Chains A and B, each alone.
Chain A
């Protein structure tokens, strides 16, 4: 069974960089695409971006200038960095596996609050 687990600070100050890591078990990240999705409190889902182990990356154009997604294949992890955060970036951040047009496995989500 594929499992994903997000980890990282739950509180980030405005203008700083949000950093999250997703640890994958039950599957190698050397296959498939791996993605980040976020959900502001009480709102809908927003796709952030996804990455393939070969280095192929797609970012949501609305966030592209502030995002970096990277992988550490030795640890079977992938990461998200979102810079210059504001209160609008407060959300539950999910990592998920992107497979052939769908997200089939998701992490439980990590709430990140942007506040001073």
Chain B
């Protein structure tokens, strides 16, 4: 089973600051198989990034993804008020074939 670990658990930042979120896999995964989602309270998750670095349709270029192997990063260039949310990474492959990381909450400092 591939386990995803996200850090930090909570990131407290001010609007305008840069956010760096980490997703680490317990074993190497293909970059194609790593996605990031944003979830706001009371809402379903929304796809941000797929293939580790490709922004989904309509996603601001403030959001960027990078990484390979076991270490992946989601960066939010300059935090806007609407960016404060929980972010999940998700991988495909292994058993179970789909799983999510525990999430990183980005909240207002």
Interface residues of B in 40-56 (CB under 8 A from A): 43-47, 50-51, 56
Q: CB-CB contacts of B15-32 with A at 8 A, as 1s and 0s?
A: 000000000000000001
Find B47's partner among A35, A58, A104, A109 (CB 8 Å cutoff).
Answer: A104
Q: Does A108 contact B (CB under 8 A)?
A: yes
Give the Cβ gap from A61 to chain B, nearest Cβ, in Å. Answer: 6
The count of A-to-B residue pairs whose CB atoms sit within 8 angstroms is 53
With contact pairs A44-B100, A47-B99, A58-B97 given, residues A103 and B92 touching in the complex (Cβ less than 8 Å): no
With contact pairs A44-B88, A46-B100, A47-B100 given, residues A102 and B44 touching in the complex (Cβ less than 8 Å): no
Given contacts A98-B98, A102-B47, 12 further A-B contacts (CB under 8 A): A35-B98, A44-B101, A45-B90, A50-B98, A94-B44, A101-B92, A102-B50, A102-B92, A103-B37, A103-B90, A108-B43, A109-B44
B interface residues with partner A (beta carbon < 8 Å): 32-33, 35, 37, 43-47, 50-51, 56, 88, 90, 92, 95-103
